[in-house]
Chain A
Amino acid sequence: MSAQTLAVKLVARAAGRAAVTPGEIVTCKVDLAMMHDSGGPRRVKPMLERLGAKVWDPERVVVITDHYLPADDDESKRIIATARDWVKDAGVRRFHDGIGICHVVLPEQGHLRPGMFVVGGDSHSPTGGAFGAYMFGVGATEMLGVLVTGEIWLRVPHTILVEWDGAFGDGVSAKDVMLFLCGRFGMDGGQYQAVEYAGSAIGRLGMQERMTLANMTAEFGGQTGLVAPDEVTRAYLAAAGVADIDTATWQTDDGAELAAHHRFDASALAPQVAAPHSPANSRGVDEYDDVRIDTAYVGACTGAKLADLRMAARVLRGRRVASGVRLLVAPASLRDQETARAEGTLGALIDAGGRLLANACGACAGYGALRFGEEEVAISSTARNFKGRMGAASSRVYLASPYTVAAAAVTGCITDPRELL
């Protein structure tokens, strides 16, 4: 058999075929379907009732509440209550309620392994690709289709290989990689194909940093973002209770055909900042002189995992936020928050003046009470700064790494975090 990409191997297995060809349309069997409270039960329940249909396999469904928590109003309470009731009725046992954001909780709770074919009811579902699974986002009606058939159609993806060689400098992170790629190639750079991240610099990254790469493949325009599994993957999953993973099969073969192959020198990458209102408005941090900020936000699946909290804490430890600046910290999962608490990371953030928020999507989704005000200027470790997404249409959001967000919190304006490390 000719050389194949990791993406093609994953899709071929799910399609029950020995080989598939990029561009052809296939039907895949779904190993796991993940939903959150917004696009999940409250939307699929009435549709299932209309069809008079049941979930094809409740053991292959995971439901995680994160968007409408804390449930501050009647509608939010109803949405969350619907999720809680529906999982019982549908026989879904893998239900994680109020312990963090779905993309972080899913691997943390041991639901992912290399080789799987997974759909998620959220655009940041490519995050699961960091574990060598083919995972991508779908809307609620398409999720309904999966729930009643266990299958989904897919155009077999081409692969865009993005290699980073060497090592990233201190104060430079996966978030900077993704902002750089969005700036360089645009939000459609991924062409809705599979984007695979490789190279010696990627191999040195921990799992949560790899998750940030895969996560922001959504902003880069890929269908999924992949990192081939290795010993780093094995160690993370073993700690999550997932044993005996196959790291040999789930690799891109040498000589496999690629749609594009980009190679970069990791040591040359500087911290990146995306100006309002697009992740594609990214430039090096040194190009932002004297941009004053009101709020520094460390949050979301993209930017508030344990690894992200540690980055922010490295800058903030022993310092205080600038006068007039508010620092908000919404750890992406309860487990990450408690680990951060035990090791002193959380204390460093709070001692610096940070306000701790719920383990939920918070201001990133912009669905709840926490929204930025008129003319407010924020710097955020989240993934999207579309106009009005996180608050008023007149609010302005800059995207950056947790290091850079923390540095801005300390100085009150956009600052190269390497000056504070």
Chain B
Amino acid sequence: MSGRAWVYGDDLDTDVLAPGKYMKFGIEEIAKHCLEMVDPAFAASVSQGDVVVGGRNFGTGSSREQAPAALKALGVAAVIAQSFAGLFYRNCFNVGLLALTCPQAGRIHAGDAIRFDAAAGGIENLTTGETLACEPIAPHLMTLVRDGGLLAQLELRFAKERS
């Protein structure tokens, strides 16, 4: 998978990803306002397959899974950060969004072309030619994201149990 990088800083919080005043609406409406407080151009300009890159503690704050779900709804293929807030990290996989922990995420700049291979644990910065290593993803979380998230996985499981 490859896409363009949207780069933000440390402690990017759930409230800028899924602003509270839109939380009463569905994900399409929330997604229109994703990151508008820090980057008003983001939601309208992000393309299918792009990646969002943060520094430390990406996704700090709320349990609202609309934060990763809004990114997914906008076509974001993965979030990449030096570290993630634990609850946000779980929510990413639960909604079927890949989260890559990359200690060298700071070497990715806005607009860089990024290719990643989650199974191999690597990110290639096609703009700079660098290869960046990612921390391994727990096998059950890889399966979860391959299945399309927890709801889809449970659907498969229940269908099997019925048949």
Contact = CB atoms under 8 A, between A and B. Distances in A.
A221 B154 contact: no
B154 A145 contact: yes
A357 B89 CA distance: 35
A153 B61 contact: no
A139 B63 contact: yes
A129 B155 CA distance: 33
A47 B24 contact: no
Nearest to B95: A141
6 contacts: A139-B90, A139-B91, A145-B150, A148-B154, A187-B11, A187-B85
A297 B93 CA distance: 36
A111 interface: no
Contacts of A140: 65
A79 B158 contact: no
A76 B57 contact: no
B65 A141 contact: yes
Contact of B63 (A39, A68, A387): A39
6 pairs of A and B residues whose beta carbons are closest in the complex: A192-B86, A139-B65, A366-B20, A75-B24, A188-B57, A139-B91
Interface stretch (A50-58, A228-236, A257-265, A314-322): A50-58
Interface of A: 25, 38-39, 47, 50-53, 68, 73, 75-76, 79, 121-123, 125, 136-142, 144-145, 148, 153, 155, 186-188, 192, 221, 223, 278, 280, 365-367, 371, 384, 386-389, 393
A79 B138 CA distance: 35
A386 B24 contact: no
A52 B91 contact: no
Contacts of B65: 39, 139-142
Nearest to A139: B65
Given A39-B63, A389-B20, A139 B158 contact: no
Nearest to A149: B154
A50 B149 CA distance: 14
Contacts of B87: 123, 136-139, 192, 223
A144 B155 CA distance: 12
B122 interface: no
A122 B61 CA distance: 10
Contacts of A187: 11, 57, 60, 85
